[in-house]
Amino acid sequence: MNKPRDVEQRKPWYLLTGIILGVLFGLGYAWWVSPVEYVDTPPSSLRNDFKDQYRVLIALSYAVNGDLVKAKERLALLDVDDHNKPKDKATTIALSSNKLVAQAQQAVAEGKPETETKALGMLAAALGQRPTPAPSLTSIQSSTPSLTPSDVSQATPIPDTEVPDTQVPTLSESESATPTPAERISSAELTPPVTKVNTEIAVIPSVTMTQGQSFIPLPSTTPSLTPAPSYVLKSKKLICDPGLKKPMIQIQVADASQKPITGVQVLINWQGGQDTFITGLKPDIGLGYADFSLIPKTVYSLRLMGSEELINDLKIEECETSRQERYGGTWLLTFAPP
């Protein structure tokens, strides 16, 4: 007589067991048997070292075509956050700029090719929200001893803003389908540009565009085949500023019209070592600025890449505060064309 009562009082654990088994089956199927497949991944999902390579390509591409809008689009696709939530444009550009600067510094430290470091530096400077000098093809072409006539004809791109039928492919994370390259290119609505009258970057362009959305290409800087100028030392000053945390060599490079020059590589030697650094990697201080920290009791000599002039006997010189405390001063070296 007790048995039916037991059955009635038994709680429905079998339902809970069933749900747990079902959940386990579902998760196992969804995660291992048939997981979500990401075959059409965006650049933002790339492994970090591939992202670095992608960033180098973006910088080199910018050095060739001078198209800052396209470079920004590409960087935006690369530097969206891990969950693919698009940030606002300013944040994305600032993030990209920081990553470019860090990568350029690392490339210099690792002795990567000059073309790479300069291209990264120039793009970082260009993203510094200020107009930058046009990337000079020859200035980053040190690995190329000479240009053949065919090279010249190929290496002189027609400025995008002066070619009415310019095809500017747009890339967007928001493309849900997988368009063919031809579709992508043809889908970019083209606005016949006007004649280039001003190279100042006045507007930060949209970095993500959906298909069919138009954009007016900004006047882009034009790579030129002008030979890179050599620079000479114009001034050498010892700066006694206790506010500077450590003694340094500061470099400022400008052209004849006092416009700062980015991407100038500086070679520095001391007994038992040498290093290179590059102008423009700290755009917040100046596009033609670079610095190098000095070690006590070490004598340095310094030369700008492409320049014959050697600046010798650079070492920490002592300065004194009003309270007669001693500290290391900073050398400020200013370079300009002869």
Partner 1 sequence: MMPLRWISFFVAILVGAVIGLYYGWVINPVQYVDTTPASLREVYKTDYVWMVAEAYQIEHNPELAARRLALLGGASAQETVQDALLSATQANSRDVDLQRIRNLENALQNYNSPSMNTPPVKKTP
Site for partner 1, residues 68 to 87, rule: CB under 8 A: 74, 77, 82
Cβ of residue 316: shortest distance to partner 1, in angstroms? Answer: 39
* Chosen residue from 2, 9, 41, 257 binding partner 1 by CB under 8 A: 41
- For residue 247, count CB atoms less than 10 angstroms from its CB and return exposed for 0-12, middle for 13-18, buried for 19 or more: buried
Size of the site for partner 1 (CB under 8 A): 72
Per the CB < 8 A criterion, the answer to whether 296 and 321 are in contact is no
Which range in 24-32, 96-104, 120-128, 234-242 contacts partner 1 by CB under 8 A? 24-32
Cβ of residue 213: shortest distance to partner 1, in angstroms? Answer: 16
For residue 269, how many other CB atoms are within 10 A of its CB?
15
Which range in 174-182, 249-257, 273-281, 319-327 contacts partner 1 by CB under 8 A? 174-182
Is the CB of 92 or the CB of 172 nearer to partner 1?
Answer: 172
280 vs 290: CA distance, rounded Å: 7
301, two tokens: 């000599």
H-type helices in 181-301, by residue range?
181-187
52 vs 5: CA distance, rounded Å: 71
38 vs 269: CA distance, rounded Å: 49
Is 12 one of the binding residues for partner 1 (CB under 8 A)?
yes
* Chosen residue from 86, 131, 157, 337 binding partner 1 by CB under 8 A: 157
* Chosen residue from 1, 2, 6, 14 binding partner 1 by CB under 8 A: 14
* Chosen residue from 185, 204, 228, 332 binding partner 1 by CB under 8 A: 185
- The label of the residue with tokens 């102008």 reads 279
Is the CB of 149 or the CB of 181 nearer to partner 1?
Answer: 181
Whats the size of the chain, residue-wise? 338
Is the CB of 4 or the CB of 272 nearer to partner 1?
Answer: 4
Is the CB of 31 or the CB of 246 nearer to partner 1?
Answer: 31
Is 194 one of the binding residues for partner 1 (CB under 8 A)?
no
For residues 177-190, one letter each, b for 16 or more C-beta atoms within 10 angstroms of the residue's C-beta and e for the rest, the string is eeeeeeebeebbeb
Give the phi and the psi of residue 254 in degrees, each rounded to 5: -135, 160
Is 158 one of the binding residues for partner 1 (CB under 8 A)?
yes
* Chosen residue from 1, 4, 9, 15 binding partner 1 by CB under 8 A: 15
Instruction: State which H helix or E strand residue 106 sits in.
Output: helix 89-109
57 vs 135: CA distance, rounded Å: 15
Which range in 121-129, 168-176, 195-203, 282-290 contacts partner 1 by CB under 8 A? 168-176
Query: Strands 330-336, 248-253: parallel, antiparallel or unpaired by DSSP?
Result: parallel
Is 295 one of the binding residues for partner 1 (CB under 8 A)?
no
Cβ of residue 57: shortest distance to partner 1, in angstroms? Answer: 4
- For residue 251, count CB atoms less than 10 angstroms from its CB and return exposed for 0-12, middle for 13-18, buried for 19 or more: buried
- The label of the residue with tokens 């030697």 reads 269
Footprint on residues 99-138 left by partner 1 (CB under 8 A)? 113, 115, 119, 137
* Chosen residue from 98, 106, 129, 186 binding partner 1 by CB under 8 A: 186
Is the CB of 83 or the CB of 326 nearer to partner 1?
Answer: 83
Is 184 one of the binding residues for partner 1 (CB under 8 A)?
yes
* Chosen residue from 2, 9, 180, 195 binding partner 1 by CB under 8 A: 180
Closest CA to 179 of 212, 203, 131: 212
Cβ of residue 142: shortest distance to partner 1, in angstroms? Answer: 10
* Chosen residue from 171, 244, 267, 332 binding partner 1 by CB under 8 A: 171
